[in-house]
Copies of this chain bind each other. A is one copy, B any other.
Amino acid sequence: MRLALNQKVAILLHGGIQSRLGKTGLSLLRYSEAPLVAVIDIECAGKNLTELTGIQRDVPIVASVADALQFQPQVLVIGIAPKGGMIPDDYWHELKDALKAGMSIVNGLHTPLANIPELKTLLKPGQVIWDVRKEPSNLGIAQALARTLPCRRVLTVGTDMSVGKMSTSLELHWACRLRGWRSKFLATGQTGLMLEGDGVPLDAVRVDYAAGAVEGVVMRYGKNYDILHIEGQGSLLHPGSTATLPLIRGSQPTQMILVHRAGQTEVIEGVPIPPFNRSH
C-alpha cells in the first residue's frame, strides 16, 4: 500500500508544524507526489505554510478536520510522530470526524487503529484504515544473504534520530534515477512507507526478526536494481536506539552515509557526539 496519487489528502498535524513532532507531515509536504489539499494545525490555522516552514508548496492551514472538508479531502494522514508513538488524546475526535465525513485514515503511529471498534463501525465501503507501522508476516532470522547480491546497497546512518536519513536516501535515489540508474528506495519508517510503499516498518518488528525483516525486503529487490537506497533508522549513538544494527546486518551495505545535524555536540545530556576530526 502507499498513498494513492489520485486521492486528495489532508494532513492532521496539530502542534506539529512548528515542532519536531511534525516530521512525518512535513516530510509528506516536502516529498509526496499526492495532491495535498489541507494541513490541519490549530496553532497555525490561517497562516502561510511556506513562510512558516520554507516548504515551497501552496497548501492551506486550517484548524480542524471540519474546516478541511471544504477542500474535499479523501484521505486523512496522521502527520505527527510523538515520542513513544501514541495517539494524543485530543486527536481522537478529529479521527472520528474524518471517518464520518467518508475519509480513509493513514496512521503511522504505534497505536493500531484498524481494529478499534469505535472507529471500525464508522467505516463505509471504500473507506480504509491503513496502520503503516505493522509488523509484516513471514519473518525469519537473517543469514547475511544480502552480501551475495550484485547491486550496491547504500545505507544512511545518523549521529542522532531525526537528522535527515530518509531525506538523504530519497534525494540520492532521485539523483540516481536522473542518471538513468535502476535505483530503488527501500523505506524503513512510516513516512518512507507512505511515500514509496516498499519496505519494512522496522521500529514495529520484534527484536528476534529485525535483521531478517530487513534482509527479506533487500533480497526481494536487490536482483532487479543497480543500487538500493536503504532508509536509515535510529542513531549510532542514542542510548535508546537499536535499529542501526539490524539494518547493517540485514542489508550488508556496500556504502554507508553518515548524516549529522551541523553543530550538534550531544544526543542527550551526557552522551556526547565524538568529534569527526579525531583519527583512530
Contact = CB atoms under 8 A, between A and B. Distances in A.
Contacts of A271: 144
B141 A240 contact: yes
A204 interface: yes
A84 B143 CA distance: 13
B203 A207 contact: yes
A93 B56 CA distance: 63
| Number of identical monomers bound together in the oligomeric complex | 2
Contact of A140 (B84, B234, B243): B84
A203 B208 CA distance: 5
Contacts of A206: 110, 135, 203-207
A28 B140 CA distance: 26
A271 B144 CA distance: 9
A240 to B, nearest CB: 4
A115 to B, nearest CB: 13
A222 to B, nearest CB: 15
Interface string A237-250: 00111111110011
A210 interface: yes
Interface of A: 83-85, 110, 135, 139-144, 202-208, 210-212, 233-234, 239-246, 249-250, 252, 268, 270-271
21 contacts: A83-B141, A110-B208, A141-B240, A142-B240, A143-B268, A144-B239, A144-B268, A144-B271, A203-B208, A204-B206, A206-B206, A207-B210, A207-B234, A207-B242, A208-B243, A210-B242, A211-B239, A211-B240, A239-B249, A241-B249, A242-B249
Given A141-B240, A142-B240, A239-B249, 19 more contacts: A84-B141, A110-B206, A110-B208, A144-B239, A144-B271, A204-B206, A206-B207, A207-B210, A207-B233, A207-B234, A207-B242, A207-B243, A207-B246, A208-B242, A208-B243, A210-B242, A211-B241, A244-B245, A245-B245
